[in-house]
Amino acid sequence: MTEAFRFAAMGCEVVVGGGTDAERVAVRELFDARERVFSRFLAGSELNRVNAAAGVPTRISSLFGRTLAVALAAAAQTDGLVDPTLGRGLEAAGYDRDFALLEPDLRLPRAGEPGAWRSVGCDERLVWLPRGLKLDLNGIVKSLAVDDALALLGGPGFVSAGGDLAARGELDVALPGGGSVRLVLGGLATSGTVERRWLRAGRAQHHLIDPRSGRPSDSSWSQVTVAGATCLAADIAAKAAFLLGERGPEWLDAQGLPGRFLAGEEEVLNEGWRRSLELEVACT
């Protein structure tokens, strides 16, 4: 495989392995285009236009409609844990500008608002938000972009963006916090609080908002890694499992998804993750 192609997008480094030069350019264009549509920090983004129009029906692009449909489906399938309506919660916690521009702030974080995904009305071309509600689709936009970017590669390869990875063909992957695993099929995603953290009134804040409280989650885990059929599946499941705290491993097993949980130095593997590695060892 030729040397990986790297570029910055969506606040992280995107790495593309495999693919022709044209395919790599197409991947970069895809990420740039998604950022222009879904960024909370670009004044002209479609997301900001939709949020500013809360209270009245607003026309949306087909890309926005499809992504919002996926986000609402993710909310439904996780009992509202992965909620696309937590834009205000993020702002209340202080994440109101590009992460690189965040500085310690002496002001107390404001009270967030619980998720309200059931109050969003939409179809493919029209969305209606209750007045005061703000969407934040970045919970799934990056992993969806990773999956869509991988589909642009004609042959074996991978696309990685921050904690999200999808591959075509088997790939050995180093995991955050140590250790590695072979991804045979699908995608891997790691959600956690070890990287995107900032201080507000001396208290650590992070971007994983618990929709039940509207505040940064107080989950016992520092990070959760999940293997999904797609990067999107892995990402949704990792966020939900993180937010569930102690019940996360059991929930992932109930979904049939392998997951690895870290709490500081402590590592917990759910049944699905352990069995995947043991079965493979037994077969070789």
Partner 1 sequence: MSTLSPSRLAPARRRADLAKTGLAAAGLVLFGAAMILARLQAPGHTRHAPQALAAPPGFVKAVRENLLQAGLIAPAQDAPSIATSVS
List residues near partner 1 by CB under 8 A.
Answer: 1, 4, 12, 15, 17, 65-66, 69-70, 72-74, 76-78, 123-124, 142-143, 158, 160, 162-165, 170-176, 180-196, 223, 227-230, 232-237, 255-258, 272-273, 276-277, 280-281
* Cα(62)–Cα(200) distance, integer angstroms: 38
Tell the burial category of 198 from Cβ atoms under 10 Å away from its Cβ (0-12, 13-18, 19+). middle
Other beta carbons less than 10 A from residue 20's beta carbon: 13
- Write down the least CB distance from residue 86 to partner 1, Å: 15
- Write down the least CB distance from residue 13 to partner 1, Å: 8
- Write down the least CB distance from residue 175 to partner 1, Å: 7
Cβ nearer to partner 1, comparing 26 with 173: 173
Cβ nearer to partner 1, comparing 123 with 201: 123
Cβ nearer to partner 1, comparing 134 with 207: 207
* Cα(45)–Cα(42) distance, integer angstroms: 5
- Write down the least CB distance from residue 205 to partner 1, Å: 16
- Phi/psi for 264 (5° steps) reads 65, -120
Cβ nearer to partner 1, comparing 25 with 229: 229
Cβ nearer to partner 1, comparing 33 with 73: 73
Residue 38's nearest CA partner among 10, 70, 69 is 10
- Write down the least CB distance from residue 111 to partner 1, Å: 26
Cβ nearer to partner 1, comparing 12 with 110: 12
Residue 68's nearest CA partner among 119, 124, 114, 113 is 124
- Write down the least CB distance from residue 106 to partner 1, Å: 27
- Phi/psi for 235 (5° steps) reads -65, -45
- Write down the least CB distance from residue 108 to partner 1, Å: 26
The residues that bridge with 164 in the sheet, in sequence order, are 161, 189
Kindly compute the dihedral angle of the four CA atoms of residues 247, 249, 251, 254, in this order, to the nearest 10 degrees: -140
* Cα(102)–Cα(92) distance, integer angstroms: 13
Tell the burial category of 45 from Cβ atoms under 10 Å away from its Cβ (0-12, 13-18, 19+). middle
Cβ nearer to partner 1, comparing 157 with 214: 157
Q: Any idea what the Cα angle at residue 225 is, between residues 269 and 5, rounded to 5°?
A: 140
- Write down the least CB distance from residue 129 to partner 1, Å: 17
Cβ nearer to partner 1, comparing 110 with 194: 194
Tell the burial category of 230 from Cβ atoms under 10 Å away from its Cβ (0-12, 13-18, 19+). middle
